[in-house]
Structure 1
Amino acid sequence: MEDNNRRNQPQYDDEISLVDLATTFLKRRRVFYAVLFSTLLAGIAYAVLMPERYDYVSLVKLAEKDSGSYIEKPAAIIATLENRWLPDYQSTYHAEHDGSIPFKVRFENPENTGLIRMVSEASPSQRESIKQVHAQLIDELSQAQSAAVSSLKQNLERQIESLSSTIKMLEGSTDAGAAIAAAFEKRLSLEATLNSMRPMEVLTVSRESAERKGPARSLIVLLAGLLGLMGGVFLAFLTEFASMVKAQMSES
């Protein structure tokens, strides 16, 4: 009965064994080596010749009205930088150089701070150009901040002067004690705000990041090796398949 079952089982002549795969691979190993080494060499060349790029960062601290409170909101400053001062500079640059600025400038506000970061990614050869652009934008921001500080100071000084006059007028009244106390308290609050005001501070201009941007050279070489390995195996078997098809067509 068992012999009959064995005879009835279908025989598959087209099955491929691991030995067949290994034989085919060894037969076409030159194709594998050629693809692997050419891809690896291309990856090494790209990693070596890839231009270095760094982040160049400028950092300013906005003018403070008092501790943790800023005369102008960071979001409003960034909107002005993105939609007014940077486009104005881009127009001037295009008119002078007949081309666009060869790098981008992005603006960030770290959460819960009054800091504005200007960041540009470029090669070291463009550092001076980045410094010039950042310095121009910082100058525009500085002028706007100085004007805002001056305006707020004048407003506070006028209010303090008005309160002082009001206090003098009320001092002659017998029943104005509560009003005088309220005026004194308000004047002290305004004076404290005036004394705690701080101008905008430039912390750094176009500082180069410590680490290079982009993938590491070792990672590029590793990926090239993996790509060459997979591509070499695939092309080795594809070459053998094409050879077998060609041989069968020539026989027929």
Structure 2
Amino acid sequence: MEDNNRRNQPQYDDEISLVDLATTFLKRRRVFYAVLFSTLLAGIVYAVLMPERYDYVSLVKLAEKDSGSYIEKPAAIIATLENRWLPDYQSTYHAEHDGAIPFKVRFENPENTGLIRMVSEASPSQREGVKQVHAQLIDELSQAQSAAVSSLKQNLERQIESLSSTIKMLEGSTDAGAAIAAAFKKRLSLEATLNSMRPMEVLTVNRESAERKGPARSLIVLLAGLLGLMGGVFLAFLTEFASLVKAQLTEM
């Protein structure tokens, strides 16, 4: 009976046990260690030599017509920066240096504010270049804002002068009390707007972020170690597989 059961049990000659796996791994452990340490060393070297990069930020506050109201909308300013002034500077830079600016400039408007942030991620060696780009863009923005403030101021002054003339003309009329009161009210409103106007203000130029950008060096080394572990195990078994295939072909 026992002999029959043994004969009926299927034979799995191709099965690999955990002992076989451990034996194969120990046999090819040099391959594993070579891959692990070379990958780890490469990760350490990369982490040490990886250039430091920081965010360089410039911040301006747009000209105000009155409290919380800006002469030009921040979205319109950003559109002009992205589609006119920055491309103009890029063209000039390319013509002078025969190459593109080695960093990007992005523009942001914090919600419900009149602030415009210019942000560039660059290495410390590029700091002066970033400062030059930001300063040029701020200068373009300052000129545009000054022109907008001057235009609005002149418009308000003309309206105030016109209302003053109208009030003088109406003062001689006996039935112009309501019209004079409305003109006075309108003039006071325009004068309040004129007095509350504020020019554009540059808050900071090319300020370096406190923390460096990019992954931490410790994370790079950790990922290199994990990659070395996985790659070492894989190549150890792949080497053994190739060796067995070669031996089999030799016997044929």
TM range (shorter): over 0.9
CA distance in 1 between partners of 2:28 and 2:215 (Å): 34
Answering whether residue 162 of structure 2 is matched by residue 182 of structure 1, we say no
- Shift of residue 5, structure 1, vs aligned partner: 4.9
C-alpha RMSD of matched pairs (Å): 1.4
- Shift of residue 85, structure 1, vs aligned partner: 1.2
Worse overlay, 129-138 or 29-38: 129-138
CA distance in 1 between partners of 2:132 and 2:119 (Å): 13
CA distance in 1 between partners of 2:142 and 2:3 (Å): 97
CA distance in 2 between partners of 1:94 and 1:193 (Å): 44
- Shift of residue 160, structure 1, vs aligned partner: 0.8
- Shift of residue 190, structure 1, vs aligned partner: 0.8
- Shift of residue 6, structure 1, vs aligned partner: 5.3
- Shift of residue 91, structure 1, vs aligned partner: 2.0
Deviations 1:61-105 (A, max 9, x none): 000001111101111111111111112222222222222222111
- Shift of residue 45, structure 1, vs aligned partner: 0.2
* 1:177 to 1:5, Cα distance in 2 relative to 1, 3 A: farther
SS of 1:203 mapped into structure 2: strand
Q: Structure 1 stretches (4+) deviating beyond 6 angstroms?
A: none
Deviations 1:124-156 (A, max 9, x none): 011111111111110111011001001000100
* 1:175 to 1:238, Cα distance in 2 relative to 1, 3 A: same
Q: TM-score, normalised by structure 2?
A: 0.96
Name structure 1 gaps, 5 residues minimum: none
CA distance in 1 between partners of 2:164 and 2:153 (Å): 16
- Shift of residue 170, structure 1, vs aligned partner: 1.4
Deviations 1:178-231 (A, max 9, x none): 211111111111111111111000000011111111111111101100000000
CA distance in 1 between partners of 2:23 and 2:220 (Å): 32
* 1:181 to 1:3, Cα distance in 2 relative to 1, 3 A: farther
Percent identical pairs in the alignment equals 96
CA distance in 1 between partners of 2:144 and 2:207 (Å): 23
* 1:154 to 1:2, Cα distance in 2 relative to 1, 3 A: farther
Q: Give the equivalent residue in structure 1 for 2:229.
A: 229
- Shift of residue 7, structure 1, vs aligned partner: 3.9
Worse overlay, 27-36 or 7-16: 7-16
Name structure 2 gaps, 5 residues minimum: none
CA distance in 1 between partners of 2:167 and 2:104 (Å): 56
SS of 1:12 mapped into structure 2: coil
